Chains A and B, each alone.
Chain A
Amino acid sequence: MQNVKHIFGIFADYLGQYFKTRLAYRADFLGDFVSNLISELINLVFIIVVFTHVPLMKEWTRDEIIFIYGFFLVPYALFSMFFGFWDFNERYIIRGEMDRILTRPIHNLAQVCLESIAPDRIFGVITGLIIMGYAAFQLDLTFYWYDLFIFIGLVISGALIYGGVYTAIAAVSFFSDSRTGIAPMIYNIQQYGRYPVDVYNKAIRFVLTYVLPFAFVGIYPAAYFLRKEVWYTYAALTPVVAVIFFGIGLLVWNWGVTKYRGAGS
């Protein structure tokens, strides 16, 4: 517990370090911001274009789908803010930075997270909130005061689900002795949670609920705010799934560390 407190304590220090480094490369800041915004909006384009041809997608209206997408962006942005080690394999395993991490007195996953923290992803949260806000306005949704807390809880849970799955995938690098393409893997699977699961067949629905539970990042929790009571049980289970999957991720990671072979000789 004390360790956790320490991790949060030095969080600010790392954040400061990040901004100092960032100031050295101002141009890239803009590039990252624009590229993130474009990738966020492109999925919106997909939804909008598709709905110019059809009125409904399996009983879901355009604005509902947009709302789900907007919701999804918030935990996803939080996740990519704190789990920004896309180049884990390259940087920590192949170039051997993990050696250094392991000689420091803070949990190694926490250090890797802190070193690759990306505070600029906060703009992703904002984009998500704006998209959600727009859709909520169009749908005329009503909220209660406690919804804010439920929202925060669900968003954090969603980010932890991604974090857990990603941590487990990144830990594959500890076992393999060559380059592993974990970055494209995450880039590609991140998108499945954001459409209603009932458009998929049973097998994919099962995968998205129990194996790679990305449905708990987008559709299930968003369904609560859309007042779709069919999905309420799933929405309520979101924090449980988060704890389980983040726990699994951590276990796999810790196990992987004992198999770490070091770089070079």
Chain B
Amino acid sequence: MIQVKNLQKEFRIHQARAGLGGAFRDLFSREYKTVKAVNDLSFTVEEGEMFALIGENGAGKSTTIKMLTGILTPSEGEIVINGYVPFKQREEYVRSIGVVFGQRSQLWWDLSPMESFRLLKSVYKVDGPEGDKWLDRLIEELEINPFVSQPVRKLSLGQRMRCEVAASLIHKPRLLFLDEPTVGLDVLVKQKIREFLRNLNETENMTILLTTHDVSDIEALCKRVLVMDKGKLIFDGLLSDLKEKWGNGTEVSFQMKKRTPADELRKTLGEMPCEISQVNEYTISVKVPQSQEMLPFVLSTVMSTFEVSDVKIMETSTEDIVRNIYQVDTGVRGHA
């Protein structure tokens, strides 16, 4: 459904000279620096996938999503989505997509969301009973009925955001883009929106792409994750693989019935490459780097050798993983 090949976007950025003299010289001749915001990006997406694009600020996510939605023209490379080239066949293409910008409203500030929906319906030429039914469903599932007739400027951020989502879906697009959809929302609203999106994906087989800073969004919604850094794609795969690759492994904490020194455990596990540390006299924690193969062995060995009263398994959270990626990266940057 989405095919992206060797996508590039370059920006020319004006380098301001310092001071009064510099500003005066800038008036007549300027220095520019070319920055590759997106560098050689390739990936494909199947219909019905739900995936996330993550990365630090300035990694190129926004630029990518703007190229995918046809807002920006790529410097090089190809994009074909739903059979269209977004920036060339913009007006036909955008009928098949919906876009939610977390920071930017598509509702008329002074009017009620309902008025905006009505106008958007005629913009997208949505008419007939089917369109009405679809809108009713959106209103019901997003639970926006109580305030859909109040002016947008009087709505809370959470209420407004749900209306934004409804507005972007009015024409029943096959593909939905969400750029930072949950910034600043409280947990309940976040959950509501996520639930709604998941349901949409299941019942309508809608393809959903989101960029986010909020790792819990990804965990709740996406199987597939793309990680960008400095304009490049540094990871494309399943969330579980991402954890495997960048995670700290798994930490298992054993609560023993008797006092047990860490050395004893070490002996039992033999040459196993794992980190063992004494938390207190009764508690020992074992850190396993690659969870899938080693974890069962560690668990069964320890459980059969010692009398264990409690076991806690602590998986690295996606949040830690993301932090790891960035830290590793800054490490590299430091060496360079």
Contact = CB atoms under 8 A, between A and B. Distances in A.
A13 B122 contact: yes
Contacts of B305: none
A265 B58 contact: yes
Interface in B54-91: 57-58, 62-63, 66, 69-73, 87, 90-91
Interface string A158-200: 0000000000000000000100000000000000000000000
Interface in B89-137: 90-92, 94-95, 97, 99, 101, 103-104, 106, 108, 110-111, 115, 118-119, 122-125
A177 B14 contact: yes
B43 interface: no
Contacts of A14: 119
B108 A21 contact: yes
A6 B122 CA distance: 9
Contacts of A102: 69-71, 90, 94
A264 B94 contact: no
Interface in A4-39: 6, 9-10, 13-14, 17, 20-21, 24-25
Contacts of B91: 3, 105-107
A187 to B, nearest CB: 23
B110 A24 contact: yes
Interface string B1-45: 000000000010110000000000000000000000000000000
Contact of B87 (A3, A96, A107, A258): A258
A20 B123 contact: no
A105 B92 contact: yes
Contacts of B94: 102-105
B119 to A, nearest CB: 5
A260 interface: yes
Interface string A102-121: 11111100000000000000
Contacts of A17: 108, 111, 115, 119
B123 A262 contact: no
A229 interface: no
Contacts of B99: 100, 103
Nearest to B112: A20
A261 interface: yes
Contact of A10 (B58, B69, B95, B122): B122
A10 to B, nearest CB: 5
A40 interface: no
A103 B115 contact: no
Contacts of B115: 17, 20
A106 B180 CA distance: 25
A97 B104 contact: yes
Nearest to A22: B110
Given A20-B111, A261-B11, A106 B123 contact: yes
Contact of A261 (B72, B103, B104, B110): B72
A102 B97 CA distance: 12
Given A105-B123, A264-B62, A100 B14 contact: no
B57 to A, nearest CB: 7
A227 B94 CA distance: 52
Contact of A103 (B71, B73, B151): B71
Given A14-B119, A20-B115, A177-B14, A262 B110 contact: no
Contacts of B13: 177
Given A102-B90, A103-B99, A258 B73 contact: yes
A105 B95 contact: yes
B71 A260 contact: yes
B161 to A, nearest CB: 15
Contacts of A177: 13-14
A98 B87 CA distance: 14
A153 B194 CA distance: 55
A24 B151 CA distance: 10
A238 B99 CA distance: 43
A147 interface: no
A87 interface: no
Contact of B104 (A20, A24, A96): A96
A259 B115 CA distance: 33
B63 A262 contact: yes
Contacts of B111: 17, 20-21
Given A21-B110, A21-B111, A265 B71 contact: no
A236 B164 CA distance: 50
Nearest to A98: B71
Contacts of A99: 66, 71, 101, 104
B95 to A, nearest CB: 5
Contacts of B103: 264
A100 B108 contact: no
A208 B90 CA distance: 36
A98 B101 CA distance: 12
A218 to B, nearest CB: 35
Q: Which 6 residue pairs spanning A and B have beta carbons closest together?
A: A258-B73, A102-B71, A103-B99, A21-B110, A105-B95, A13-B122
Interface of A: 3, 6, 9-10, 13-14, 17, 20-21, 24-25, 96-100, 102-107, 177, 258-262, 264-265
19 contacts: A6-B125, A10-B119, A13-B122, A14-B119, A17-B111, A17-B115, A24-B151, A25-B110, A100-B99, A102-B90, A103-B99, A105-B94, A105-B95, A106-B91, A258-B87, A260-B73, A261-B11, A261-B72, A264-B62
Given A13-B123, A103-B99, A260-B71, 5 more contacts: A24-B151, A25-B110, A96-B104, A265-B57, A265-B62
